[in-house]
Structure formats: C-alpha cells, structure tokens
Amino acid sequence: MNKKQMKKILTDMAHTRVSCTAQEKEAAEYLAARCEELGVKARLESFGVETGDVSFASLKADGSDVPCTGYKLCGSGSVKAQFLYLPHLDKASLAEAKGKIVMVDGYLGLFPYKDIVDAGALGFITYDGNVRYADRDIDSRAVRADLAEGRKILGVNVNAKDAAKLVKAAPKEIEIRVEQKEYTGESHNVVAELPGESDEWIVLTAHYDSTPLSPGVWDNMSGCVGILGMLEAAAKASRDKKLRYGVRLVFCGSEERGLLGSKAYVAAHEAELGKVALNINLDMIGSAMGKFIAVVSAEKQLVDFIKYYSVLEGWSIEARSGVYSSDSTPFADKGVPAVSFARIATANQATIHGRYDTMEVMSMPQLEKDIDFLSAFALRFIGAPACPVGREMPDDVKKQLDEYLGRKRKDQ
C-alpha cells in the first residue's frame, strides 16, 4: 500500500467503532473487503458480548446534579449514601467504605472492584479526562462481566473537573440512579488466510474497535493498516516462491472491552493453536512522534533476536520481555509465542480513548516505514524453514499473565 491508500483507510474509519454496534460491524466488513482487494478471502466470525444500553443515569451531590454517564452492566436502580474518596485501596482505606458511595482514581480493575464490593460499598464513581483540557467529555464505561461475578453495585463516570469539585466540596450525601437494559450483544472477528507450504501459521492480529469517544485512528486503525500492509508484502513474496508458513490475519473486535475478540478467537480455535508458530500483534503504529517498542511474551531469545535484527536493519527499538495490554495476551496465555509492536508517543503528544485520537496524531511517512520494517521482520519467519521460537513460556511471563488476567494479585 502507498501513503495515499493508507491515509484513505484511516480517514474512512476515523469514527467510533464501539463493541456490538452497527459501526463496529461496518468496520469489520470494510476490513474484510480490503483483504479481498488483496486477493485474500476473508470471513467474519461472530461472538457474544455481555453489554447494556443505559437509558438514564444521574448523580446528585447534596441535591445538585453532576454530569455523568452510567456504567453498563452495573445493574439498575438508585442508591443514596455518604461520599468517600479513596485515593488508595489499602486495608485502612477500605475499612471506611462500608455503606458509602466511593470514588476511585482511574479504572476499576478486577481486584479493586472486588475489594470495594467486599468492603461493603453501595456504589462507585470513577472519572476520566483532564482538569486542564477545555472539553468536558465523559467516557461511557462498562463493568466487565468477570468483575461483577453476580455482585453488582451501581456506578457512574464523571469528568475529572467534576471529580475534583466533589472532593473539595465533600458532600454529605450522594445519590446515583442508573436505568439500563442488559443483554448479550454480537461482535465479530475478521479472519483472512494466505496459505503456505505447511499447515502451520504465523498469525497477525490488530484490534479494530474503538472506545465510545474516540475516532480510533492511532488506537487502533493504524495497526489494522499495518497488518494489511504485512499481508500485501507476504502475498507479493508468495508469487515468486510459496512461503513456508501460512499467514492468517485476525482483526479483533471488542478489544477495548477486555480483549474479548482475541479471547473469543483462541477459545473457538483452541484445537488449532498448536499449529500457530508465532503471533505478531500491532497496537498503535505510525504516530508522528514516539518510540518504537516490542513486548515479547515468549522465550528471551526472541527479545535478543529482535534487538539484533533491528540493529542490522538500522531500526531504533526498545524490546523487552513481558505482557502487553493487547490481543497478543490471550495467544500467549494459550502457549503461543507472541510479540506486540507499537509506536508509543508521550501523553502530551498523543492520547487514546478520547476525541484527540485523530489523523493529526499520524505521520504517513512514519507509518510506511513502520510497515516496511514489520513486513520484513514477519517475512523472516513466514519464509523460514522452521520457526526457531520455542513454545515454553518463561516463568516471569507466566506470572505476568496470571496478574494481567486476574488470576493472581500483583502483590502475591
């Protein structure tokens, strides 16, 4: 693909593509069509996602309205209680949470949610945005199904500016009301295959959904353009000589809801994963600024190879072993060697999960360079007589997988 073609895909898809919406499915069909244009057949694989449609949400502090959005899957109803801000979720702080509506910093992960419920909190408030930004955007969030485990308390999200006001005002009473319809929605993975000589595969992944406020250009239509470019390079190489490994693209839906697309894919195709030699995942490339990184969920030798290979190619990279918060993780958790690549800019240059993830973040020359490097890297494996990466996952990576996927606390 040339710069004009890449820019067209990014521009065409520069709109919200939220899990289980018509826009997400349209994006899936659009990406399938781009694969077909490259001469590679593509199909949509559907999977269910627990979701909800919030019809009403309100937050009152001592009777005054505070703008908010209601959490999907937190249930319906109303609750009144004393307000408590919890900057820490240590035992001493949680001891104060019983019978109160608590506000926490950041996202409510698995163990923080369990901790406030176990502590007897009656409701919760989170916030996003930035007190220095002009906008008053409030993201729409959901309680992940694996968090609730049947125990639901009402929750709302507010803007950071109002969160600061709440803390300063120290209201005596907070009231939360949420009304919603909860149901199982439908999301999709897009799968395209270019067969090789063997029955083994190099799987390329990138998620195509976005968060509710985000046009999702950098996060992560850029990654989708990236694996399309890698597919094109593989297709061209196969015209001269059939490649040893097949190339399978998986555009993952509902990643922003907790890697649900890649989790659904590895669950549906678990019997085939032994034939997947390597997963290469792209999540945010081609930004005008930022460093190029690789996070390897596999044996350390792959980290070393990437470092050496990059020097030989004159390519700047920061490579490390670990777990990346993207669609490589479910593959690694099933024993498939995986690596995620990204170009990460600083927060004051580019942000995600909001209105600022636009074409302005991107550089078409940089995106082209990123794809050229990634394509050359992938072809070294796709055309190799055998993939040298072992399938034994290092103990430190196993530990990080357990922590990331909520099987263990980080402090255990």
pLDDT in tens, 360-399: 999 999 999 999 999 999 999 999 999 999 999 999 999 9
Using the predicted structure, report yes or no on whether residue 110 has a pLDDT greater than 90.
Answer: no
Alpha helices in 241-362, H assignment, sequence order: 260-268, 300-312, 328-333
Superfamily for the 3-50+186-404 domain? Zn peptidases (3.40.630.10)
Q: What angle do CA 23, 28, 34 make, to 5 degrees?
A: 125
Instruction: Give the amino acid at 284.
Output: M
Q: Are 80 and 174 in contact (CB under 8 A)?
A: yes
pLDDT at residue 144, rounded to an integer: 81
pLDDT at residue 151, rounded to an integer: 85
Average pLDDT of the segment spanning 93-110: 93
pLDDT at residue 147, rounded to an integer: 67
pLDDT digits (tens, 9 = 90+) for 256-280: 999 999 999 999 999 999 999 999 9
pLDDT at residue 125, rounded to an integer: 98
pLDDT at residue 375, rounded to an integer: 98
Those residues whose C-beta lies under 8 Å from the C-beta of residue 347, and which sit 6 or more positions away, are none
Average pLDDT of the segment spanning 176-187: 98
pLDDT digits (tens, 9 = 90+) for 32-76: 999 999 999 999 999 999 999 999 999 999 999 999 999 999 999
The SS3 assignment for 42 reads: strand
pTM of the model: 0.96
Provide the pLDDT confidence category of residue 109 given band limits of 50, 70 and 90. Answer: confident
Provide the pLDDT confidence category of residue 410 given band limits of 50, 70 and 90. Answer: confident
The CA distance from 349 to 253, in Å, is: 27
- Domain chopping of the chain, boundaries: 3-50+186-404, 62-182
pLDDT at residue 382, rounded to an integer: 97
pLDDT at residue 145, rounded to an integer: 73
pLDDT at residue 412, rounded to an integer: 53
The CA distance from 254 to 264, in Å, is: 10
pLDDT digits (tens, 9 = 90+) for 184-196: 999 999 999 999 9
Cis peptide, bond prior to residue 220, ω within 30 of zero: yes
The CA distance from 230 to 232, in Å, is: 5
Cis peptide, bond prior to residue 348, ω within 30 of zero: no
Architecture of domain 62-182: 3-Layer(bba) Sandwich (3.50)
Q: Supply 120's token pair.
A: 């007897």
Provide the pLDDT confidence category of residue 247 given band limits of 50, 70 and 90. Answer: very high
Give how far the C-alpha of residue 78 lies from the chain's centroid of Cα atoms, to the nearest Å: 31
For residues 320-337, b (16+ Cβ closer than 10 Å) or e, as one string?
ebbbbebbbbbbbbbebb
Instruction: Give the amino acid at 17.
Output: R
**CA distances in angstroms from 24 to 31, 34, 71, 81, 314, listed in the order given:** 11, 16, 20, 38, 38
The SS3 assignment for 192 reads: strand
Average pLDDT of the segment spanning 73-97: 96
Q: What is the mean pLDDT of the chain?
A: 96
Q: Are 208 and 221 in contact (CB under 8 A)?
A: yes
The SS3 assignment for 110 reads: helix
Higher pLDDT, residue 1 or 16: 16
pLDDT at residue 312, rounded to an integer: 97
Average pLDDT of the segment spanning 173-183: 97
